[in-house]
Amino acid sequence: MRQNFLQLNGSKTEAIQTGTPHQLHSSPITSISLFGHSIPLSPSVTNLGVKFDPHLSFANHIHHICKTSFFHLRNISKLRSSLSLPAAEKLVHAFVSSRLDYCNALLIGIPGRSLQKLQYVQNSAARVLMRVRKHEHITPILHTLHWLPVHLRIEYKILLHTHHCLHGDAPTYLTDLLTLHSSGRTRSGQQHRLLPPRTRLKKMGDRAFEAAAPRLWNALPDHLRAPQTVEAFKKGLKTHLFTKAYC
């Protein structure tokens, strides 16, 4: 820390232990010692705006997203009649969509009930934006707005990170997690695939980037896995996921 001209503030430093319920229950650790400071373990910590919990369920983080998003949606709805559609859409993206997308790659593999809470936020944002009633079916509205559902927005982010990793545009701590599948007998349609690692814990191991990225990447059509610019990949990926969602 001294090399980086940093000093530990023990009163503002938090620590958390993550693991399975069995691991956490059997762990004797209640605090950690760092540079002479004893830091007790916390049930929830915030790092770069994301709230972490011991089970990595991100329940607190999702609750915070929903609470904050609905606060802004209520305010936008009060102004909606005075706003043009483009102006209202800018507000929705700035105050709601940005929160749904921020660090959302961490949410891969979370329970469906948690995803549904975030989807309800997006549905409500679409209703406010398009000024439709609550009982009207939401899927045609999302289709009209060209919005991907929340679970596919998460997949989009992971796949975009994967593309960056494979083309040297990501930090080494991510690129080192991925391994290209190499075989002299690989058919052209099977090229540019990733080697999936073996995982033991479905609720945690399968959610890790090194496991989720190969799984999603290998499921893409051949033309999307082929080398291409990031802009071409983003456009093709959005089209692919949009078709997957609504067709």
Q: Tell me, what's the pLDDT at 1?
A: 64
CA 6 vs. chain centroid, Å, equals: 30
Tell whether the model's pLDDT for residue 24 goes beyond 80: yes
Q: Tell me, what's the pLDDT at 186?
A: 53
Q: What percent of the chain has pLDDT over 70?
A: 94
Q: Tell me, what's the pLDDT at 143?
A: 97
Mean pLDDT value across residues 144-150: 98
SS3 percent helix, strand, coil of the chain, rounded to 5, is 55, 5, 35
Collapsed DSSP state (helix, strand, coil) of residue 33? strand
Q: Tell me, what's the pLDDT at 12?
A: 79
Confidence of residue 134 (pLDDT cuts 50, 70, 90): confident
What's the mean pLDDT when you consider all of the chain?
92
pLDDT in tens, 98-121: 999 999 999 999 999 999 999 999
Q: Pick 38 or 93 by higher pLDDT.
A: 93
By the 8 A CB rule, do 80 and 131 touch? yes
Q: What percent of the chain has pLDDT over 90?
A: 77
Q: What are the φ and ψ backbone dihedral angles of 114, each rounded to 5 degrees? A: -75, -40
Q: Which of 27-31, 68-72, 161-165, 218-222 has the lowest mean pLDDT?
A: 27-31
Taken in order 161, 162, 163, 166, is the CA torsion positive or negative? positive
The Cα angle at residue 170 between residues 162 and 2, in degrees rounded to 5: 140
Q: Measured between alpha carbons, how far is 104 from 84 in angstroms, rounded to an integer?
A: 29
Can you give the three-state secondary structure of 37-70, one letter per residue? Answer: EEEEECCCEEECCEEECCCCCCHHHHHHHHHHHH
Q: Tell me, what's the pLDDT at 189?
A: 53
Sequence-distant (6+) residues with CB within 8 A of 60 are 44, 51, 53
Confidence of residue 215 (pLDDT cuts 50, 70, 90): very high
State which H helix or E strand residue 86 sits in.
helix 85-92
Q: What is the pTM of this model?
A: 0.90
Q: Measured between alpha carbons, how far is 8 from 134 in angstroms, rounded to an integer?
A: 50
pLDDT in tens, 149-208: 999 999 999 999 999 999 999 999 999 999 998 765 555 556 789 999 988 877 788 999
